[in-house]
Structure 1
Amino acid sequence: MELYFLGTNAGLPTTQRNVTSVALRMLEERRCSWLFDCGEATQHQILHSPLKLGKLEKIFITHMHGDHVFGLPGLLSSRASHEGSPPLTVYGPQGLRDFLEATLRATQSRIDFGLEIVEHSGGLVFEDEQIKVEAEALEHRIESYGYRVTEKDRPGSLNMELLQEWGVRPGPEYGKLKNGEPITVNGRTIEPEQVLGPPKRGRIVTILGDTRPTAGIHPLALGADVLVHEATFTDEFADLAYKYYHSTAVQAAEAAQKAGVGELILTHFSSRYKDLEQLQPLLAEAQAVFPRTQLAIEHQSYPITAVKGVE
């Protein structure tokens, strides 16, 4: 599981950075990728990345501002041109369905891969046997959400030495034990708890939309292994950030510290910061509060490692 940033700029693209989009790659876990926001030219960014449209399973939209959604109709249209593309679900706030249906209808775009549009107002957005996704309202000029992606605990490792001692060879029996089913070998019934180690804690990733500091951030970020938080301005522009419903790097770091996250990744940078060098003050300000902070850099992967967070 890893994050891959396709766009890290706020509001407008620049020659150095595109507008907002980040992928959660889960190729080993479920052979797919999820996308969070889809600003203009996201599909162009994908062309220069290891991502594949055919592996895209879900898209989560944080809010309906153009720098987070204008790339969506084009991406869906291009995906439809790939024969045999599997179904895809797009989640987001009220207005998402009208936006997509109107743009796809006006451009006579044919989407034949099974497109489902799910509008939500927070709470549990998606759940299956592997993962659940929850959303919480943030504080922005329009309805905006953050998403908490929780990987469910996985079975512990098998005690290979004990299994070999009991005459259990690698094969289907291993899978049954991993799934919590007892097996019988050479007249011996083996219960899963006899040969399985402690469960492996699932990883938690929190990705926020645009927001001022607000109480809704804490339950989303609590104990997360990685928090992706906007940092539109340095602290000297805190008044401007508040006026336009955004956050500073310091405010992002304070949220990470309070929630006890494993790592903070800053994104959604104002175009006043032209290049990586000019982003260094944001990083320095955040690290002074929360040392485990990184800048989101486009076309760079960020592996997600489970760490012990706040219980």
Structure 2
Amino acid sequence: MANFKRRLLCAGLAAGLLGVGPALAQGAGDYPNKPVKIIVPFTAGGLADTLARGIAQELSRDWGQQVIVENKPGANTIIAAQATATAPADGYTLMMANDPTVSSNQYLYSRLPYDPVKDFVPVVNVAETLEVLLVGPGFKGKTLQDLIAEAKANPGRVSYGTYGPGSKAHIDAEAFAQATGVKLLHVPYKGVADVIPALLSGQVQMAFTGVPPARQLVKSGQLRAIAIAAPKRSAALPDVPTFAEVGMPNFHSSAWFGLIAPAGTPKPVIDKVATSVARLIEKPDFSERYIVGVGLEPLNLGPDRFAEFLQKDRAMYAKYIKALGVKLD
């Protein structure tokens, strides 16, 4: 019996050294064998939520296992990030993260309940959206200069909606205010799905959002797009000028959406998720419905390239936020 136990122990050690222990064997083989959850840090109906639900639906079909979406909005993605960071590192909890989660929050807050670098592993960066400056139907001006003039004539009275303090929309609006010398009023909401109705009803006068949620409303004339914060015009909104075309050549902004997992998640699991999602991004019907067709730009960066992307993204935000002087605590 003692010899049998020694042989069993040696076999276990050998499997661990070869990287084929129980967790890795599962990751390489029968993952997933139970439902997988994608946590979304925003309200239902927004851009990140729609993209996550599209991925969940397709992965459920491909894997033969249910993939569900759970919305945990609030606190500039901190609530969702903490829930993800403390989840078991087994591949059954993923998060549809974006810029604040692992890039900008660490510079906006003195303390976080999670470590943006150490607590997560990048899986696949799916897509990005160009940012567009919108005004509601109550704004009578037509150009960027009209908006700036209105804000200068009424300091602190022109309001802008965002999906939370420290969000991309908040940072963009503060950068815009600093660059143009105006004072604006910040009105935070839980998600972009709340910002759009606020614009339409006149609760706020302006907002920065991604192109997809604004696209149809701009085309129908319900909202006006003043400018695209990109080096070139968007194919989704070809009639909207860039900031460079209307006098602000250095004003660029985009936001990304990618899947991350708790640190320690087995690499075979990470690779399987990344490969499966990469196939989806490359499928014309999926891309048309959830990415290119709605105004997003595909990224499709796997774990290693996503990690390199994050290094540059964090460095950019460190410099950007310091220059703006934005702090949330």
Q: Structure 1 or 2: larger helix share?
A: 2
**If the length of structure 1 is used for normalisation, what is the TM-score?**
0.28
**If the length of structure 2 is used for normalisation, what is the TM-score?**
0.27
Structure scoring higher RCO (CA < 8 A, sep ≥ 6) equals: 2
